[in-house]
Each structure stands twice: as structure tokens, then as C-alpha cells.
Amino acid sequence: MSGNTRPIEASIRTDFRDEMDYGSYLGLDALLSAQHPVSDPPHHDELLFIIQHQTTELWLKLVVHELRGVRRFLDSDDLPRALKGLARVKHIQRTITEQWSVLATLTPSEYAEFRGSLGQSSGFQSHQYRAVEFLLGNKHAGMLQVFRDKPEIHAQLAQLLQEPTVYDAFLRLLARRGHPVPAEILDRDVTQAWTEHPELIAVFKTIYEDPHAHWELYEACEDLVDIEDAFQLWRFRHLRTVQRTIGFKTGTGGSSGVGFLKRALDLTFFPELISVRTEIDGPLGA
């Protein structure tokens, strides 16, 4: 046998007629046959475009799963498990942000050769992206109209619209631990997008000015800021990739394109956690 060949160990299974194998466990037959270029003839670079977006959707599915778990752990006062979930979300965000560098290898000329085949399809129509935004606090009932022809998806987003966000769950945990979160915030209409509540600044100021006395809560605050920053970085990389590829053309789904994406950079999930930084005087006893 060649010195550059690794022998198959006798204990390795090779007969899977009656056993589940790697491909069947992962559903690879369905997964790897889910790429259907619509350009005619199929453009070489359309496969990149499809896989980029499909893999992002898979990661978004996991983000939704993890954020639901984070909310559940916060509701049950299991802050360490919630922090574990937030840490995993941050790693996913780093991965999907880096993926834009792969799509950025698609030049304007190459994309123009098959962009017309995409019709009105657009990332704006990603229901999983909307689910992530709803879970983090950027509620917008008008977005449900995009999915009115998909009853199951519409119902899922409508339910998330009615449910508390991760931030709501965190604030309720703070209140249960004795921090003076105003009752009107705890009882707010959770179907509405979060807007800054200056009354919360004092609550977070107490935590930030004595982190050793409130270490777990301090860590949770910083994890939420990490999530916010990572989301903004993802949005920015999206904007720059779109601008690099199509300039200032209108988006395939009808949006203004780069201009629409720029306005998204003004959206925030946890504004009080940013504003409190202006008020911090330093740790007690410093």
C-alpha cells in the first residue's frame, strides 16, 4: 500500500444497509439538492449566491432557537444558562458576518448576468431574520404583511409579536432580584418596538458602578451589548457588500437598496445599555 494512503481500520463500519449513516442523519439528500439556480443557462456564480443565503438561514434558525432558550432561562432565573446561550449567539453572529467576505468575491459584472432572474425575491423577505429582530425588540407589526400568503410563517411571527423579548425577560429578572425597574416598563405593550426608557439608566448605573457586587448581571449587560454590536456589524457588512456589488440600484424586493440598509444602522435593541456609559462615574471606592 502506498505510503500516502491511510488504511481503513477494521473496526470502521462500512455496511449501512440497516443502520443510520452520516448522510441520512443530516438529511444530506434533501440539503444538497436544495440549490436550484433559476438563470438559464445556469450562471456559474449563482450557486455561490444561493449557498451564501441558505447557510445564513440555517444559522438564523439556530439563533432563533438559542434566543428562545435564553428567554426561557431568564424567565426561570437561570442566568448562567442564559449567558451560555448568548455566548453561542455571539459566535454565530461572527460566522455569518464573516460570510459576507465570500459573497463579496461576486463582482458587479458577474452578478448583473443573473440578477434579473431573481425576480422580486429579497433578503427583506426572510422570516427568520424578522424572528430574530422580534426576539431582540425590533417589533414591527407591518412586517407581517410580507408573509400574509404564508399562513404558518405569519402565525409564527404574529406569536412572537405578542411575546416578551429577551430584553423584557432580562428586565423582569432584574426586578425579581430587587432592582427598581419601573412597573410601567415591566407591564409595557410588548407588541411595540422597544424605545429608550431613561428611567432605566439609574438601574444599570448601579450595576456598572459596582460590578463586583452584581457580577452576573454586569456580565449579562455586556453580553447584550456584544449582541447589539455584532448585529450592527453584520448589518454594516451587508450594506457594504450590497454597495460593492450593485452600487445604489434599487433592491430586488423593491427597497431603495443601500439607502434602506443605511437606515437600519440607526435601529437599536438595548439603548439604555449604551446611554448608561455616559453616566458611569467609576466603581465604588475608586
Domains and CATH numbers, the chain: 43-278 (1.20.58.480)
Q: Does 111 appear as a known binding residue?
A: yes
Supply the pLDDT for residue 199.
Answer: 96
Is the full-model pTM beyond 0.75? yes
User: CA 37 to CA 99: how far, in whole Å?
Assistant: 20
Q: Does 179 appear as a known binding residue?
A: no
Q: Does 51 appear as a known binding residue?
A: yes
Supply the pLDDT for residue 285.
Answer: 45
Supply the pLDDT for residue 283.
Answer: 53
Q: Does 56 appear as a known binding residue?
A: no
φ/ψ of residue 2, rounded to 5: -60, 145
Q: Does 115 appear as a known binding residue?
A: yes
Nearest Cα residue to 227 out of 143, 135, 163, 161: 135
Q: Divide the 286 residues of the chain into consecutive groups of 10 and give the mean pLDDT of each group.
A: 79 87 95 96 96 97 98 98 98 96 94 91 91 96 95 97 98 98 97 96 97 97 97 92 86 75 85 95 56
Q: Does 154 appear as a known binding residue?
A: no
Q: Does 53 appear as a known binding residue?
A: yes
Q: Does 49 appear as a known binding residue?
A: yes
Supply the pLDDT for residue 286.
Answer: 46
**Cell numbers linked to 189:** 405593550
